[in-house]
Amino acid sequence: MNASKPRVAVWKFASCDGCQLTLLDCEDELLAVAGAVDIVHFLEASSTSLAGPYDLSIVEGSITTAADAERIRDIREQSKVLVVIGACATAGGIQALRNSADITEYVSIVYARPDYIKTLATSTPISDHVRVDAVLRGCPISKKQLLDLITAYLLDRSPRLEASPVCVECKRRGVTCVLVAHGTPCLGPVTHAGCGAICPSFDRGCYGCFGPADTLNPDALVRRLGSLGLAPETITRLFHTFNAEAPGFAEVTAGGVVES
């Protein structure tokens, strides 16, 4: 509509819609954001869907069908900047648990007529298929980080993303360490910051929904969790949930870390 405003598109692949909902959850900022850009494709919010090219594409979800693998390549070709949001788009999401399972058996468990279902054996991140320009972690992403990313794009600066693990956010908030003080299993030492250490502030151990930290030592944490009396398969399950296929978490099997 307005040639001077960037054309923004929001795309969905296999996902729960929670990360794109995060944009609609910016209740105080939503109308301002909608005024600063031209939202030309955002099916969850608008019936208008305009053809590319797009200045900024925001992509949620993972690739689980051959048609979606084609669709993301087409979106990439039409987009100047492509950012991926959330654990599905960045690591394949919880549905990537299929990657180490028998997909035929999975289909037969859920559907009476497996022959009606078209699916790939794997759930893979967007970056396995196309070049991505920026990444927001989390299941779901943080509202604050999403607003910063959009602002950074509009101001042509780099987004301010945390590089530290959740532990640093916990210390910054003054939250007592649940692992040290209460012996609560916690993935904070190996998990990428960005949530604001929500779980420890609720007396709960981090469950890794922001995925692996940039630098991590899972072996040391696995030993510590073992010393708390956790069974090896419990430790493996802890790593293998919302970011099961993310490098750094994926290598942890039966309580140990396998060199890959």
Partner 1 sequence: MTTDDRSRILTVEGLARVEGEGAMHVRVVGDEVVDVELSIYEPPRFFEALLRGRDYTEPPDITARICGICPVAYQMSACLALEDACGVVVDGQLAALRRLLYCGEWIESHALHIHLLHAPDFLGYDSGLSMARDHREVVERGLRLKKMGNQLVEVVGGRAIHPVNVRVGGFYRVPDVAELRGLIPELEWARDAALDVVAWVATLPIPEYQGDWDLIALVDPDEYPIMGRRLASLSGALDIPVEEYTDHLHEEHVERSTALHSAWEHGTYLVGPLARYSLNHDRLPEIARQAAAAAGLKPVCRNPFASIVVRAVEVVAACAEALRLIREYERPPLPAVAVEPRRAIGHGLSEAPRGLLYHRYEIDENGSILAATIVPPTSQNQRAIEQDLRQVAQANLDLDDAALTARCEQTIRNYDPCISCATHFLDLTVERQ
Footprint of partner 1 (CB under 8 A): 12-22, 24-25, 27-28, 30-31, 34, 39, 42-49, 64-65, 68, 93-95, 97-98, 101, 105-107, 109-113, 116-117, 119, 123, 139-140, 195, 198-199, 201-204, 207, 209, 234, 237, 241-242
Of residues 174 and 259, the one with the C-beta less far from partner 1? 174
For the CB of residue 1, give the shortest distance to partner 1 in the complex, in Å: 10
Of residues 70 and 203, the one with the C-beta less far from partner 1? 203
For the CB of residue 46, give the shortest distance to partner 1 in the complex, in Å: 3
Rounded to whole angstroms, how far apart are CA atoms 195 and 170?
10
Of residues 102 and 219, the one with the C-beta less far from partner 1? 102
For the CB of residue 170, give the shortest distance to partner 1 in the complex, in Å: 14
| Closest residue by Cα to residue 167 from 148, 145, 189, 195 | 189
Of residues 90 and 123, the one with the C-beta less far from partner 1? 123
Alpha helices in 174-217 (DSSP H): 178-182, 198-201
For the CB of residue 111, give the shortest distance to partner 1 in the complex, in Å: 5
| Closest residue by Cα to residue 81 from 132, 124, 122, 30 | 132
Rounded to whole angstroms, how far apart are CA atoms 244 and 92?
8
Rounded to whole angstroms, how far apart are CA atoms 151 and 9?
16
> Are the beta carbons of 136 and 158 closer than 8 angstroms?
no
For the CB of residue 64, give the shortest distance to partner 1 in the complex, in Å: 5
Of residues 17 and 148, the one with the C-beta less far from partner 1? 17
Q: Which two tokens stand for residue 19?
A: 């990360």
Q: Which two tokens stand for residue 14?
A: 């296999």
Rounded to whole angstroms, how far apart are CA atoms 169 and 135?
19
For the CB of residue 121, give the shortest distance to partner 1 in the complex, in Å: 11
For the CB of residue 200, give the shortest distance to partner 1 in the complex, in Å: 10
Of residues 93 and 218, the one with the C-beta less far from partner 1? 93
Residues whose CB is less than 8 angstroms from the CB of residue 110 and which lie 6 or more positions away in sequence, other chains included: none
Of residues 23 and 161, the one with the C-beta less far from partner 1? 23
Q: What are phi and psi of 38, to 5 degrees?
A: -110, 100
Letter for the amino acid at 97? L
Q: Which two tokens stand for residue 111?
A: 């559907």
